[in-house]
Amino acid sequence: MDEVIKYIKENRERYIEELKELLRIPSISTLPENKEDMQKTAKFLAEKLNAAGLNRVEVFQTEGHPIVYAEWLGAPGKPTVLVYGHYDVQPVDPIELWETPPFEPVIKGDKLFARGATDDKGQLYVHIKSVEACFKKHGSLPVNVKFIIEGEEEIGSPSLEPFILANKELLKCDTVLVSDTSLYSAGLPTLTYGLRGLCYMEVELTGPNRDLHSGTYGGAVANPVNVLAKMISQLHDKNGKVAITGFYDGVIPLSKMERENFKKLKFSEKAYMKELEVSELAGEKGYTTLERMWARPTLDCNGIFGGFTGKGAKTIIPSKASAKISMRLVPGQDPKKIEKLFTKFIKSIAPKSVKVQVTSLHGGSPVLTPLTHKATIAASKAMERAFKKKTVYMREGGSIPVIATFDKVLKAPAVLMGLGLDSENLHSPNEHFDLNHFMLGIQSSAYFFDELAK
Ligand code: BES
Ligand code: MN
Ligand code: MN
């Protein structure tokens, strides 16, 4: 292993240059104008997988953006690792808040700034480079490796789900390795064993058939924006619990052991508030902040719109009002069931004065992975060897919907070897990735293959 690690360290500059090249392609999955860029990114990754020494590199076209696949199965009798990552990124707006252009990567200190740097191009590239280093030094890998890299994670993986179902044999593996989460803190090796699920809904209210003069009609008909605001306020009770009937049915409560483990992770509410510039934290009563973020379900309004939102004043009673509402789910909750409960509840609280339309945008199931699985133990040892510190375990408030599908369809638990930091502005202006974690990640990945083969 020493030679592999030495090779990785010697190739730092080239690795970073290659990552910058990957970051220059604006692979925003949600925007139609970037459709060609998705093809370009897939091709770039296929070339790099090929150059790293993998076989059967293929770009699969889908109804949406392409899926990149590669494999090396030269270690019969050894476990098979499926490395998953996503090459798509979030939109860049508000663009005016970026200090440097999002698709012109720049290094400041130890940080590489660009859209996708930490989520997820920088993190996924780690595994391509670790494979390359192993092949360069040993001509082989200690385990079998498959790669699956999609371009639709940020839009709910609509093409990958059916792809997995249709390609069970191709994707057959013992464990899924993913770097698309965060370290608990800088330099601290971390494994994430839980992800929240998601149920994302949109509500549209229609009042009168057109915008009305608010002087002439005000006081006579219901205002959909007023009604919507009132309805949204009814979605939580006074203790911060979600008020939807049946919402908490089946939620697996936090065990005493888990609560104690969370407490052991030093979490400073004061520092957290300071970083966010808020003077109070909020949420469900009876739980600590980490518990609320990682292990309790939530409901949030992501956006609310309707009526006049331009500059200045316009006196109207709007015809329509809408809200985008997402719920983060925890083990024991099913996104499809929550979708039904939400729809029923919204309809039950809407007054007759408005018409209601509820639509589902996307969703995903929550995940809990067993800490006793041999891949998790191998990953823990691997990170300790690279970071030279003891690995900590955490859950994550965010979601990677496809992980639950891998678990269900391939019966393969995931190792979530995240290398990002929550403070690296993912989905936000000035996204960046700590290059020390990039380098330690490549080493962790190589050590992981070594540990898993033992
Ligand atoms: N990499 C993130 C998940 C994540 C978020 C991990 C925060 C660690 C910290 C992933 O790319 C993501 O953004 N997921 C979406 C899923 C959705 C678009 C279906 C999310 O959680 O909002
Ligand atoms: Mn991601
Ligand atoms: Mn993301």
Atom of ligand 1 nearest to the CA of 363: 19
| Answer CATH for 2-195+366-453 from 3.40.50.300, 3.90.1150.10, 3.40.1190.20, 3.40.630.10 | 3.40.630.10
**What per-residue confidence (pLDDT) applies to 218?**
96
Spans of all domains in the chain:
2-195+366-453, 197-251+297-364
- Alpha-carbon distance of 401 to 64, in angstroms, equals 17
Mean pLDDT of the chain: 97
**What per-residue confidence (pLDDT) applies to 266?**
87
The answer to whether the CB of 119 is under 6 A from ligand 1 is yes
The answer to whether the CB of 181 is under 6 A from ligand 1 is yes
For the four alpha carbons of 444, 447, 453 and 454, in that order, the dihedral sign comes to negative
3-state secondary structure 247-306: CCCCCCCCCHHHHHHHHHCCCCHHHHHHHHCCCCCCCCCCCCHHHHHHCCCEEEEEEEEE
**What per-residue confidence (pLDDT) applies to 194?**
97
Atom of ligand 1 nearest to the CA of 399: 21
**Residue 442: pLDDT band by 50, 70, 90 thresholds?**
very high
Asked if pLDDT for residue 78 goes beyond 90, the answer is yes
Task: Give distance in angstroms: CA of 398 to centre of ligand 1.
Answer: 5
The answer to whether the CB of 391 is under 6 A from ligand 1 is no
Cα–Cα nearest to 92, from 42, 147, 37 = 37
The answer to whether the CB of 399 is under 6 A from ligand 1 is yes
**Which ligand is the nearest neighbour of the Cα of 85?**
2
- Alpha-carbon distance of 290 to 26, in angstroms, equals 34
State residue 118 phi and psi, 5-degree precision. Answer: -100, -25
Average pLDDT over residues 35-64: 98
Extract long-range pairs of 161-169: CB within 8 Å, 24+ residues apart.
161/402, 161/405, 163/60, 163/62, 163/67, 164/402, 164/405, 164/406, 164/409, 164/410, 165/409, 168/409, 168/410
Which residues are near ligand 2, the ion (C-beta closer than 5 Å)?
119-120, 180
Domain 197-251+297-364 has CATH 3.30.70.360: yes
Asked if pLDDT for residue 386 goes beyond 90, the answer is yes
Atom of ligand 1 nearest to the CA of 180: 1
Task: Give distance in angstroms: CA of 200 to centre of ligand 3.
Answer: 15
- Alpha-carbon distance of 329 to 198, in angstroms, equals 5
| Closest residue CA from atom 6 of ligand 1 | 181
Asked if pLDDT for residue 365 goes beyond 90, the answer is yes
- Alpha-carbon distance of 243 to 237, in angstroms, equals 6
**Residue 139: pLDDT band by 50, 70, 90 thresholds?**
very high
**What per-residue confidence (pLDDT) applies to 276?**
93
Amino acid at residue number 237: D
Residue 443 DSSP class: H
| Closest residue CA from atom 16 of ligand 1 | 399
Task: Give distance in angstroms: CA of 188 to centre of ligand 1.
Answer: 21
Task: Give distance in angstroms: CA of 76 to centre of ligand 2.
Answer: 32
Amino acid at residue number 44: F
The answer to whether the CB of 156 is under 6 A from ligand 1 is yes
Element (H, E) at 203: strand 197-206
Average pLDDT over residues 122-128: 98
Cα–Cα nearest to 62, from 162, 170, 148 = 162
pLDDT 10s digits, 213-269: 999 999 999 999 999 999 999 999 999 999 999 999 999 999 999 999 999 998 999
Task: Give distance in angstroms: CA of 286 to centre of ligand 1.
Answer: 26
| Closest residue CA from atom 13 of ligand 1 | 154
Residue of 153, 185, 405, 421 with the most ligand 1 atoms within 8 Å of its CB, for mutation: 153
Average pLDDT over residues 198-216: 98
**Which ligand is the nearest neighbour of the Cα of 160?**
1
The answer to whether the CB of 153 is under 6 A from ligand 1 is yes
Atom of ligand 1 nearest to the CA of 326: 22
pLDDT 10s digits, 32-47: 999 999 999 999 999 9
Atom of ligand 1 nearest to the CA of 119: 1
Task: Give distance in angstroms: CA of 372 to centre of ligand 1.
Answer: 25
Angle of CA points 414, 82, 407, to nearest 5°: 40
**Residue 416: pLDDT band by 50, 70, 90 thresholds?**
very high
**Which ligand is the nearest neighbour of the Cα of 181?**
1
The answer to whether the CB of 194 is under 6 A from ligand 1 is no
Cα–Cα nearest to 366, from 403, 331, 338, 408 = 331
| Closest residue CA from atom 18 of ligand 1 | 154
| Chain position carrying tokens 């965010």 | 398
Element (H, E) at 129: helix 122-138
Share of the chain above pLDDT 90, in %: 99
Atom of ligand 1 nearest to the CA of 198: 19
The answer to whether the CB of 182 is under 6 A from ligand 1 is yes
Task: Give distance in angstroms: CA of 428 to centre of ligand 3.
Answer: 10
